[in-house]
């Protein structure tokens, strides 16, 4: 519960936008925290109406609950590990891309971040399969040695500075690429089988002629 938020700083009240806009910001913050703590139930109510209701769930179930419906039908798991670093989570297939970058969750040691290096690494992994201004959907968790990341570079802690940022960039890039490549590998046998069936039908038609 948040109450008397501006009791000691009344001047800040004038910087608020509309009630609906500020409510949207509050919901976004709760959703970001909820994705990182799936074992915790979350509920948000406003003006007597429940806006968000999340029961305890597995990490994947929680991600699917928070991300758009099309993500559930078109995503792949990401899993990669090296000494002192690990990334895991889920990325949407190119067919589930969106016009806005509003379905992107990235966490470093459990904290939601909006880091240019990490977001560029994910975007670069889609370079050959996603074009134009389309934005991928994803929920990724990077666990890294705390000594390799500085979390005190922004007042809101939403940005970080990574030591060996180029190495981390390549690590995330290759992990997401591997997940997307798995999709192509799965699709390839189906395509080969379909082509074989078409050829068989063509051969049969020729024999009857």
* pLDDT in the model for residue 198: 40
Q: Is pLDDT larger for residue 209 or for residue 42?
A: 42
Predicted confidence (pLDDT) per residue in 17-57, tens digit: 999 999 999 999 999 999 999 999 999 999 999 999 999 99
As given in the structure block, the two tokens for residue 41 are: 């139930």
CA-nearest of 79, 87, 85 to 144 is: 85
At 60, the pLDDT band (50, 70, 90 cuts) reads: very high
Q: Residue 209: pLDDT above 70?
A: no
Instruction: Please say if the pLDDT value at position 124 is more than 50.
Output: yes
Region 71-85: what's the mean pLDDT? 96
Threshold 0.85, pTM exceeds: no
Rounded Cα distance between 51 and 28, Å, is 12
What is the pLDDT averaged over residues 131-159?
93
Tell whether the model's pLDDT for residue 208 goes beyond 60: no
- pLDDT at position 185, please? 54
pLDDT attached to residue 131: 84
**Beta-carbon-side half-sphere exposure of residue 144 (alpha carbons within 13 Å):** 25
**Residues 155-205 pLDDT 10s:** 888 999 999 999 999 999 999 999 999 865 554 444 444 444 444 434 544
pLDDT number for residue 188: 45
Q: Own/partner pairs for 31-40, CB < 8 Å, 24+ apart? A: 31/66, 32/105, 32/112, 33/112, 34/62, 34/66, 35/62, 35/63, 35/66, 35/105, 35/107, 35/112, 35/139, 36/107, 36/110, 36/111, 36/112, 36/141, 38/62, 38/63
* Per-residue confidence (pLDDT) for residue 132, from 0 to 100: 83
Q: pLDDT grade, residue 1 (50/70/90)?
A: confident
């Amino acid at each position: 519960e948040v109450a008397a938020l501006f009791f000691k700083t009344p001047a800040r009240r004038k910087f608020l936008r509309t009630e609906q806009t500020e409510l949207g910001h509050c919901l976004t913050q709760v959703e970001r925290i909820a994705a990182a703590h799936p074992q915790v139930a979350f509920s948000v109510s406003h003006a007597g109406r429940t806006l968000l209701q999340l029961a305890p769930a597995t990490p994947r179930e929680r991600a699917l609950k928070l991300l758009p419906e099309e993500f559930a039908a078109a995503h792949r798991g990401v899993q990669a590990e090296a000494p002192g670093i690990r990334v895991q989570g889920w990325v949407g297939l190119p067919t589930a891309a969106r016009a806005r970058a509003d379905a992107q969750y990235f966490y470093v040691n459990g904290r939601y971040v909006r880091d240019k290096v990490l977001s560029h690494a994910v975007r670069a992994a889609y370079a050959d399969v996603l074009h134009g201004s389309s934005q991928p959907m994803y929920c990724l968790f990077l666990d890294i040695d705390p000594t390799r990341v500085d979390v005190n570079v922004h007042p809101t802690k939403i940005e970080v500075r990574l030591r060996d940022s180029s190495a981390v960039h390549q690590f995330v890039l290759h992990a997401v690429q591997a997940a997307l490549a798995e999709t192509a590998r799965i699709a390839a046998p189906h395509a080969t089988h379909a082509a074989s069936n078409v050829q068989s039908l063509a051969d049969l038609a020729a024999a009857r002629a």
